Chains A and B, each alone.
Chain A
Amino acid sequence: MEKKRTLVIEITIIIFFGLIFFRLAYLHLTPPEWITSRTEGMRLLIQKSNPSRGQIVDRNGELFALDAPGYTMYADPKYIKKHGNIELVSSIISKELFYDKNILMNNLLNSKRAYYPLLIKKPETHTSFKNFSPRDNLSITYKDKTGKNIVLNGVVLKKERIRSYPKGLVLSHVLGYINFDRIGSGGIEQSYHSYLLGKEGLRKGKKDARKKEIYDAREIDRPAEDGAKITLTIDQEIQNITEDVIYQMFLKFRTKSAWAIVQDVQTGEILAMASYPTFNPVEYNKVDEEWRRNRAISINFDPGSTLKTASIGIAIDKGVIDVEDQFDCENGRWLYAGKYLNDWKNFKTLNVQEILKNSSNIGTAKIMLKLGDKDLYDGLKNFGFGEKLSINLPGEEKGQLNDIKKWTKISSSRIGIGQGITATGLQMITLYSTVANDGVMMKPYIVKKIESFEGDLIHEYKPEVLRKPISLATSQKLREMLTTVVDTNGTGNKAKIKGYKIAGKTGTAQKVKSSREGGGYYDDKEVVSFIGFFPANNPQISILVMADEPSIRVNGKLPGGGTVCAPAFKEIAEHTIKYLKISPEGKRIYITQAEN
């Protein structure tokens, strides 16, 4: 009987504990909502991961912009007061980050915030982080001189993505910059922001008591998709020499600003685009807004004599004149419609070739009158004046070509010589590239392709023909005429390169006074330029060099495009010829071998 009772008790105990065991096991394996709802909030882990902004590389894959790892260092004054040591934090931080210790301590003591910024968005490699390393979500470790690790509670190193431009100032106007909120605010960073941005990642799961993620409780794991990679048509070597040369020109002639473009005439690809003054994209806010302006596309200027190539080309194309036709250049001063027009020299009779070579205003004006307003207007429109070339960079201007209805009796004689019309550097180089490219106008472009972060091609930009403003025969005639400009006695002779046929044109245009200043032109302010291409017999590359307001006088006079810009053109061209190994016949074949 007793044994039976013992058995019953045993069974009861086993059943009782068995039930508890199974119930606990059941609750553990499939916890009901009344349990999970209490702990869910505490254990829930939602991590959003920021994608890396896409890279920007040149045509050879050289990195120009990328996202690098970095930190923001901040202090949590409330946490420090409770769990840390304000004195210790203040003394270490002030020593390492060059803060005033008393001010920092005072700020930490009096702040009620949980976020007191100490160092915002700096790369991991920043010298200030040398002795610090992240420890956990609420503290960092500081390594002192003796190598001892000191924990600073309440000081946090928050991981950040920092935009880095490893080439420094090179190409800054084209690359642009991103603002504090990581929004592209200039150049490629702005116009291709949506591609560069990437997609945010999400991880949802649970964390343990140490706030660490429990891997097997991960429910959603969608990794961030980094931004697309933008490959530019720019070549860093040509870009670098272009920037160096215009900087030297800027210094030598004390110009207000300078800019240059190098273009592949057959494809329209921009190989270099430089503008000075320049800026560091990382510290974009430390310079004047004007310095951040990409002058090559955003400054409208009177092109001056460089436009004569277009106007004379249109006249030849229309069959109004031919190269050998002669014009009376009125001994350097001509009165037409009550207004005088002057030449820089007292020319008598010149043929069309000589008019272009000597840059005669009067000769060109007479050709324009012969051509007529409508043909000139249509011809210039065909060359793309007065409209954007849509290079897809912010700030591109379209220049100004007044509607023909607004033209007066003298308009064509002035517009034909590059006055009363404005254009951008990009429009002007496109004009010369068209002449160089047998009259075929290629769309200028600066982005070669866009690839996803996984390497899939999103978009590829290919050479695109816009139109054919002049015939092959006209372009050949113009090319021949433009080579005479670079002859020994031509205005652009300083652009001459031994062994190569160079074609080009100088430009010197007085700057326009504002209406407040009474209108008209300044006597002592000019924009000078040289635009050309080479080899003239089989053109490969065109180069535009411009300088705004050179102030150093040469022989008592303000220097023109032939003095300021032609030598710069020559230097860029020589380097480009060597770098691309362009033969005098215009071939670009690249096996090199040193000569014995």
Chain B
Amino acid sequence: MKNKNHNHSKLPNLIIIILLITMIIFVSYMQVNNSCSSYGEKILHQEDEIISINNRLIRYNESWSSLTSPRNLKKIIEYHNLDMMLPENKQIVRIESKISNKMTAGLNIK
């Protein structure tokens, strides 16, 4: 009789263990699945961010290009009453390479 009781209590324990293991596997799977999904969300978000940063960069490049066009620079220079001009030839110091003389450079001042 004692033996029978022993066998009877052993079976539900086994079932409980199996259920527990299954539950653990299930929960782990869910957790892995959730974290994968959350990483996926993050990646998607970052992909969107890259696109939006790239778009911002394009817009900055575009407006920089527009700002630095000679016409706009001229307007800005005039607006600030600056008297700017390109140097005359006599204001330019030219440096030529003098490889034959083993010099790094030579001044060519007129």
Contact = CB atoms under 8 A, between A and B. Distances in A.
Given A170-B69, A575-B86, A578-B86, A124 B59 contact: yes
Contacts of A67: 58
A588 B18 CA distance: 87
Interface in A223-281: 236-237, 240-241
A578 B95 CA distance: 17
Residue from A25, A166, A584 with most neighbouring chain B CB atoms (10 Å): A166
Interface stretch (A145-153, A210-218, A291-299, A555-563): A210-218
B12 A10 contact: yes
B31 interface: no
A589 B109 CA distance: 12
B22 interface: yes
Given A14-B15, A21-B22, A589-B94, 18 more contacts: A7-B12, A10-B15, A14-B19, A68-B62, A125-B59, A164-B62, A168-B66, A170-B69, A170-B71, A215-B39, A575-B86, A578-B85, A584-B89, A589-B108, A592-B87, A593-B93, A594-B87, A595-B90
A546 B93 CA distance: 35
B43 A499 contact: no
Interface of A: 3, 7, 10-11, 14, 18, 21, 25, 52, 62-64, 66-69, 124-125, 164, 166-168, 170, 212-216, 236-237, 240-241, 499, 575, 577-579, 581, 583-584, 587, 589, 591-595
Contacts of A63: 61-62, 64-65
Contacts of A212: 44
A63 B57 CA distance: 13
Residue from B59, B64, B70, B93 with most neighbouring chain A CB atoms (10 Å): B70
Interface in B49-86: 55, 58-59, 61-66, 68-71, 85-86
A14 B17 CA distance: 13
Q: Give the dominant DSSP class at B's interface.
A: helix
In the A-B complex, the 4 residue pairs with the closest CB atoms = A215-B40, A578-B86, A63-B65, A166-B65
Q: Give the dominant DSSP class at A's interface.
A: mixed
Given A69-B58, A124-B59, A216-B36, A583 B89 contact: yes
B8 A591 contact: no
B78 to A, nearest CB: 14
B100 interface: no
A215 B85 CA distance: 57
A7 B11 contact: yes
Contacts of A167: 65-66, 69
Contact of B88 (A216, A575, A578): A578
Contacts of B11: 7, 11
Contact of B40 (A164, A216, A591): A216
A202 to B, nearest CB: 15
Contacts of B44: 212-213, 215
Contact of A240 (B19, B61, B69, B85): B69
Nearest to B67: A166
B94 to A, nearest CB: 4
Contacts of B95: 589, 591
A66 B62 CA distance: 8
23 contacts: A3-B8, A7-B11, A25-B26, A63-B62, A66-B62, A68-B58, A69-B55, A69-B58, A69-B59, A125-B59, A170-B69, A237-B70, A575-B86, A577-B89, A578-B86, A578-B87, A581-B94, A583-B89, A587-B108, A589-B96, A591-B94, A591-B95, A595-B91
B65 to A, nearest CB: 4
A236 B74 CA distance: 13
B58 A66 contact: yes
